Chain A
Amino acid sequence: MSFPWAEEYQPKSPFMRWLDQRLPLPRLVFGAVGGGYPVPRNLNYFWNFGVLAGIALTIQLVTGIVLAMHFAPAGTLAFDSVEHIMRNVNQGWLLRYVHANGASFFFIVTYIHIFRGLYYGSYKAPREVVWFLGLVIFLLMMATAFMGYVLPWGQMSFWGAKVITGLFGAIPLVGEPIQQWLLGGFAPDNAALNRFFSLHYLLPFVIVGVVILHIWALHIPGSGNPTGVDVKTAQDTVPFHPYYTAKDGFGLGVFLIAFALVVFFAPNALGHADNYIPANPLSTPAHIVPEWYFWPFYAILRAFTVDFILPAKLWGVIAMFGSILLLFFLPWLDTSPVRSGNYRPTFKWFFWVLVADVLILGYCGGKPAEEPYVMISQIATIYYFAHFLIILPVLSTFERALPLPNSISESVLHGEAAEAAPIGTGATVPAE
């Protein structure tokens, strides 16, 4: 950590001193989330979502491990084993609903976390690697969630697996062999279910590892803040503990209230009724849709309806993966030296258009592939790619940003009104 005023770890008891001498874990924790990690004092509630994502991951891990004690990953047994969990296992219904809805909440929290990063320029230097690791986590999350949804072996599980593995078949030349390699067969069956279970159990631990790297990479420059202005002095920061442990505790309470409302009073609202029908390879559901958190990508996938040199299906696949992969290049697409959207009025406007665009894409992704949803998806897809690949680069060249405050403390001291007109150096401004 590069903050010279960061508090040094002092063991509080003889035992902690003994442990710290042998394995500096207490020191590490202290420096990472304790009193030894200075954090900008002006963080708003959008900074709570990283920790909430970590907590959602923990909830999924714990409930998942416990569910795995009862789940049977075989085609003939899977559906019934889930019902066994719901009906017979002690508090099994609770574990299942927490795990299923926990995935949704994990994505809600992660999406807000990502959009916070987009708005406040968290992907910019020196935090590019933090951003990359975050995107890797996101990709791993999507893979894990997709495989997890297949496990109950309901109609949507089966047909969703069929559609998504079918996408690989769209790759020219090597597509079909890859698809069969993935499935271990010609259609999702026992082989696919078993391997998805194995990988679904494994990947979350890989996610944990990448999360550790993500936090480590963040702690080198330290956390960003809503002004985008670097930390300069001790005035600008407060120690993580107890200031942000308290704030995160409160945020956790709010998160758990929302979570409990869904788990206990609307546990199937985010799911699809068809997944309560056992998988039937001979009967296709009326509308195959993935879980809601994949809907924006599903809309992009289905937006390409006309061949253009390449088959439309392949364009859809390329665009769907491309929509995430282009985010890796964001630090070099958006080269504005100003980080925070608070000081970039034009960027801010486009940002909100992007948010609306993604919400529209999500809405269309959950609808059947009929007009007018297809046309709306197409317009929204056009904007999505234009936003990142055309608008942002152009903007960062021609934009005129608002003047930044000299420091975090200044912006804090001045309050919001004065942020736009910070104190220049050397000027003496009589106050009040």
Chain B
Amino acid sequence: MVRVIGFLVGLLFVAVAGWSLLWGAIAFVSEPPEPTVESRFHEHPRHVSFASDGPFGRFDRAQLQRGFQVYKEVCAACHGLRHVAFRNLADLGYNEAEVRAIADQWAIEVPDIDPDTGEATTRKPLPADHFPDPYANEVAARAANNNALPPDLSLITKAREGGAPYVYSLLTGYQNPPSSLPAENRPGEGLYYNPYFANLNIAMPPPLTADGQVTFADGTNATIDQMARDVTAFLIWTAEPKLENRHRTGVATLIFLLIATLLAYMSYRNIWADMKGRKVRATGPLDPENAAKREAASGEAGIQG
């Protein structure tokens, strides 16, 4: 009975799905979908490697400090870093006094309340504060940026397909649109062509425009490529400050588990040793006395064997 109903239900679903398939196939054949302009011109992120890559990766603190400098001088005007606190900069190798100085001298102040009047005001950040947003709210941000919202950068390397290589490619990917680009896809007012961006035209103007835009404290030559690498490495850190802990703990855990599993395997083989490795033949059914009873019970249940 169940099988009959099931059969009919099955036919029903097959028919309905088949109906969709039929129409879909007809549509596919009669008007095959064309690749979109975006898919034609969009480029996948370029390959780039960072010190933190791989299971044994660690941050290059000098690079992180340079990257922070790029962020501070180029990006911080528009992009927030709200999940990072000034005190976290100690991870980059700054000592307590330097961290306090960075916080104290930060261009943007932290919202506060006037102790006398109660009015909203601002104060200098303390190390315990998070990086303050450059704009009071989304409306203000859009108003200042041609209706585009500059995203917070704390998690950007984890929040984009392609990760850190995507961020790096984007920063270095600004170029003139190719002549084959259709007119309607050319960048309009306030947009800039960048093939690494999904829509090809991004609202952010190229942030890194010239070599030497930033003067690195450690004297590294600040080419656009170098600045892009450094700020991307910094953003890998902001997205995941615990990366080094993760790698270190992971290696130790895996070594432990490999040994433990090996021991577990040896123990398993040891316990099963007397059960395995038989070379014996049976010559007849076992337990013949109860065979009849067993057969009867199995027969009732409809199970063979």
Contact = CB atoms under 8 A, between A and B. Distances in A.
Interface string A389-422: 1100100000000001111011011100000000
A39 to B, nearest CB: 12
B279 A432 contact: yes
A431 B281 contact: yes
A277 interface: yes
A388 interface: yes
Contacts of B303: 124-125, 228, 230, 337, 339
B97 interface: no
A378 B302 CA distance: 36
Contact of A93 (B13, B16, B246): B246
A29 interface: no
How many of chain A's residues touch chain B, expressed as a range? Answer: 35 or more
B24 interface: yes
Contact of A257 (B163, B261, B305): B261
A119 B33 CA distance: 40
Contacts of A304: 16-17, 20
Interface stretch (A105-113, A184-192, A243-251): A243-251
Contacts of B290: 232
Given A261-B254, A390-B11, A429-B281, A312 B264 contact: no
Given A233-B287, A260-B253, A382 B88 contact: no
Nearest to A267: B246
A93 B240 CA distance: 9
9 contacts: A228-B305, A264-B253, A264-B254, A273-B159, A303-B17, A381-B13, A389-B6, A410-B286, A427-B283
A264 B247 contact: yes
A257 B88 contact: no
A260 B257 contact: yes
Contact of B20 (A229, A247, A378): A378
A94 B249 contact: yes
B45 to A, nearest CB: 12
Q: Which of A249, A303, A326, A427 has the most CB of B within 10 A?
A: A249
Among the interface residues B271, B281, B282, B302, which one has the most CB atoms of the partner chain A within 10 A? Answer: B282
Nearest to B9: A389
Given A87-B242, A264-B249, A393-B6, A378 B283 contact: no
Interface string B130-150: 000000000000000000000
Contacts of A252: 264
The 7 closest A-B pairs by CB, nearest first: A389-B10, A264-B250, A431-B281, A253-B261, A229-B305, A276-B159, A332-B2
Interface string B1-27: 011001101110111111111011100
Main secondary structure of the interface of B (DSSP, over half): helix
A308 interface: yes
Given A87-B241, A246-B264, A322-B13, A407 B286 contact: yes
Given A329-B2, A405-B305, A375 B21 contact: yes
Nearest to B256: A260
B245 interface: yes
Contacts of A267: 246
B253 A413 contact: no
Contact of B13 (A41, A250, A254, A319): A319
B280 A413 contact: yes
Contacts of A393: 3, 6-7
A242 B7 contact: no
Contact of A254 (B2, B3, B250, B261): B261
Given A125-B303, A264-B254, A80 B10 contact: no
- Secondary structure of the A side of the interface? helix
Given A276-B159, A332-B3, A333-B3, A246 B272 contact: yes
Contacts of B281: 413-414, 429-432
A274 B17 contact: no
Contacts of A390: 7, 10-11, 14
Interface of B: 2-3, 6-7, 9-11, 13-21, 23-25, 28, 32-33, 55, 83, 88, 151, 154-155, 158-161, 163, 198, 239-242, 245-247, 249-251, 253-254, 257-258, 260-261, 264-265, 267-268, 270-272, 275, 278-287, 290-291, 294, 298, 301-305
A273 to B, nearest CB: 5
Contact of A230 (B246, B265, B305): B305
A131 B204 CA distance: 56
A59 interface: no
Contacts of A284: none
Contacts of B261: 250, 253-254, 256-257
Contact of B287 (A232, A274, A286, A333): A232
A124 B247 CA distance: 46
Contacts of A426: 284-285
B15 to A, nearest CB: 8
A331 to B, nearest CB: 9
A235 B275 CA distance: 10
A375 B301 contact: no
Contact of B268 (A246, A276, A329, A388): A246
B10 A375 contact: no
Most buried by B among A256, A265, A429, A432: A265
A172 interface: no
B123 to A, nearest CB: 21
A257 B294 contact: no
B285 A264 contact: no
Contact of A375 (B28, B240, B257): B28
A409 B254 contact: no
Contacts of A329: 2, 6
Given A304-B20, A378-B17, A246 B254 contact: no
